[in-house]
Amino acid sequence: MDKKLKVQSAVLDMTILVITLGTFSFITIQYNILALLTIVFPLAFGLYAYKHDIRFSILSIFIVSLVLALLPDWMWLNILLIAGPIGVVIGYVTKRKLNHGKSTMIIVGSSIALSAIWYFVISEFVLQMDLLTLVKEYVMAMPVPPELLESFSEAQTDTFMNIELEAKQLLLMVLPSLVLGAMALYSLLNFVLLDYVLNKLRKETNALPPLYEMRLPDNIIMGTTIVLVLTLIAAQVISVDSLSLMVNVMYIVMLTFTMQGLAVLSFYLKKLKLVGIIQLPILIIGLVIFQFVGLSLMGWLDAIFDLRQLKKKNVGGV
């Protein structure tokens, strides 16, 4: 395809992208229950980035954001700072056919960086106050429904209020890592969906392995060790809440190994020759029973001792 046809194709697809996302955005403003549709917005940008040059992909983010800015909503800002860039990243790594370990690291790293940029822009230019402080004030000010305490004695009420206060404080302590973890999963979900859609369209991709063959990069143990050591040093050198910092970093590390823990559980379920329709509820039950601690420990042991012997097959990692 010559240069002129490429430009025409890119402009045509960009027009379709603007109309499609604009329509969906308008619908979600009118019917809030359909807001979940916005989860797959990065998929649309990913498909565009896979097909067209990176320059057109970046331009498409600005064009879509500019059009959506006409709507009475902040959707355009989320497109500009989150959905659009994530879509371009997943489209780029898919187009380049990078191995899955590198792709995952790039996508997760990008989602964390974009989250930080979004947080800064919202705090400095939209709210003109720290977003995290605002959330903390809102959560701490949330009252307990009076009807919930009607049947409690005075001692039971005091105990309940203390537990509720501690629960709120714990939630607020891990809130940053919860948000970053959710953003990483959001980005990876769109990456998986993009791979699925492209395969359905018979496009050549570096196909994702099944869950039971998924493993983290080979250097994950060294990487997490360095992160933990740097966190300990930062807690001593920088004036921050060291407990909150350590808790958030540990949560992210546990979430990382939980992904591999689920893969290990899926691997052994396959060994038992359970069909996929049975494996899914067992994986969900396993996540509920073992929770992050058990599954992250399982993933950590697999990363060290290669319980599934996947390194010999050169599956997964970098």
How far apart CA 63 and CA 125 sit, in angstroms, is 21
Please compute Rg for the chain using Cα positions. 23
| pLDDT of the residue at 101 | 73
Q: Rounded to whole angstroms, what are the CA distances from 106 to 50, 64, 203?
A: 16, 24, 22
Indicate the burial class of 238 (C-beta count within 10 angstroms; 0-12, 13-18, 19 or more): exposed
Asked whether 91 and 98 are in contact (CB, 8 A), the reply is no
* pLDDT of res. 318: 47
Ranges of the chain with pLDDT below 50: 318
Give the domain ranges of the chain: 1-127+177-208, 209-318
C-alpha distances (whole Å) from 161 to each of 146, 149, 278, 286 are 12, 10, 41, 32
Among 286, 270, 298, 146, smallest CA distance to 212 is for 270
Q: What tokens does 215 get?
A: 């493993």
Q: Which residue, chain included where needed, has tokens 């498409």? A: 60
- Residue 208, token pair as written in the block: 């994702």
Burial class from Cβ neighbours inside 10 Å (0-12, 13-18, 19+) for residue 248 reads buried
State the DSSP string of 102-136. Answer: HHHHHHHHHHHHHHHHHHHHIIIIISSS-HHHHHH
Q: Where are the beta strands (DSSP E) in the chain?
A: none
Residue 170 is encoded by which pair of tokens? 């714990």
Contact yes or no for 307/260 (Cβ under 8 A): no
Q: What is the pTM of this model?
A: 0.84
DSSP class of 74: S
